[in-house]
Amino acid sequence: MRILESIAGLRRELASPRDGGRRIAFVPTMGNLHEGHRRLMHVAREHGDCVVASIYVNPLQFGPNEDLAGYPRTPDEDIRALQEEGVDLLFMPGDAEVYPRGQEAMTRVEVPGISDILCGASRPGHFRGVTTVVNRLFNLVQPPVAVFGKKDYQQLFLIRRMVEDLGMPVAIVGVDTVRDDDGLALSSRNGYLNQAERSAAPQLYATLNGLAEQIRRAHKFHPEFTAPAVEQLRQAGFRPDYLSVRRAGDLAEAGGADRALVILAAAWLGRTRLIDNLEVTLPD
C-alpha cells in the first residue's frame, strides 16, 4: 500500500491506475478504523480495481465545543488494517494540504435546508464541513465511485444530493451499518463509553426496532408513536437529542401515507453522542 501525504504525490500515484484504465473506488474516513470501515473497503474492492482510502480528521466539521482535540487518532493500527484489507493507496493529508488558505478562507460547499435539520440542528455547520471536505477530496482523487456507511444516514443523503446538484461524475455506494452482537452500531466514538454506558448503549437500536415494529403492526406511522420511544431512551439513561421518523426519499417529516420510512435518532450517553437509524418499508 502506498501512503501519500501530499496532493502532488497523490496525483502522481493516481496517474498510472487511471491511465491503465483501472477503476478507482474511494473511501474517505477520519481514521480510528473498525469493522465498519473494513466493510467499506471490502465493498470498494467489489466496485473498483484500485481502492483508495483517505484518513483526515476534518476540523471544519467539528463545532467549537466538540471533540476535535480528543478525537481518537490511531494511524499505525489504521495503516495495518488498510494493508490487511488490500487497499492500494492511502491519502493522509495534513491541514495545510486540505485547507492551504486556512479553513476559514476556503470555498465552502453547502446543501441548503437538509444540512440544518436532525443532526444539523444540534451541530450547526457540521454538514457544511462534511460536504466541503468531501467535495475537495473528490476533486483530488477524482473517483468514479465512492463508498460511505449508512450509519451516517443524513451524511450519505447530503453527499448524494451534493453530487447530483453539482453534476459530479461519481457514483455513491451506501453500505449497511455493521453492529456488535448486541446491536450497537460500530462507531469510533463508542470508545468514549465507560462500562455502564456501553451496557446501556444497545438500547438505542433496540428502541428504534421497537418503534419500527409498532409502525409495521399499525401498517402506518402515527406521530404519537414517537414520544414513548423518546421516553424509553430516557429511562435507559440517554439524553435524547432527537428521534424522528422521516421519509427515506427526502428526509421530510413522515405522514401516515408514506411507505418508505427511516427512523433516525441521536442521543447522549454521558459525554458521548451516539447516532443510529433504521429503514422501514411498508407494503403498499
Catalytic residues: 37
Residues 114-173 that bind ligand PAF (CB under 6 A): 130, 133-134, 152, 155
Least distance between ligand PAF and beta carbon 155 (Å): 6
CA 3 to chain centre: 23
Least distance between ligand PAF and beta carbon 274 (Å): 15
User: Is the four-CA dihedral 112, 118, 122, 126 of positive or negative sign?
Assistant: negative
User: Is the four-CA dihedral 53, 1, 24, 9 of positive or negative sign?
Assistant: positive
Using rule CB under 6 A, residue 28 touches ligand PAF: yes
Residues 81-120 that bind ligand PAF (CB under 6 A): none
Nearer to ligand PAF, 58 or 277 (CB): 58
Using rule CB under 6 A, residue 30 touches ligand PAF: yes
Residues 59-78 that bind ligand PAF (CB under 6 A): 61
Using rule CB under 6 A, residue 275 touches ligand PAF: no
The set of cell numbers assigned to 204 is: 438505542
Nearer to ligand PAF, 41 or 130 (CB): 130
Do residues 5 and 94 lie in contact, with contact meaning Cβ atoms separated by under 8 Å?
yes
The set of cell numbers assigned to 120 is: 444539523
The piece of 24-32, 114-122, 191-199, 235-243 that touches ligand PAF (CB under 6 A) is 24-32
Do residues 10 and 55 lie in contact, with contact meaning Cβ atoms separated by under 8 Å?
no
Do residues 147 and 43 lie in contact, with contact meaning Cβ atoms separated by under 8 Å?
yes
Owner of C-alpha cell 494511524: 75
d(C-alpha 213, C-alpha 183), whole Å:
16
Nearer to ligand PAF, 162 or 280 (CB): 162
**Binding-site ranges for ligand PAF (CB under 6 A):** 28-30, 58, 61, 130, 133-134, 152, 155
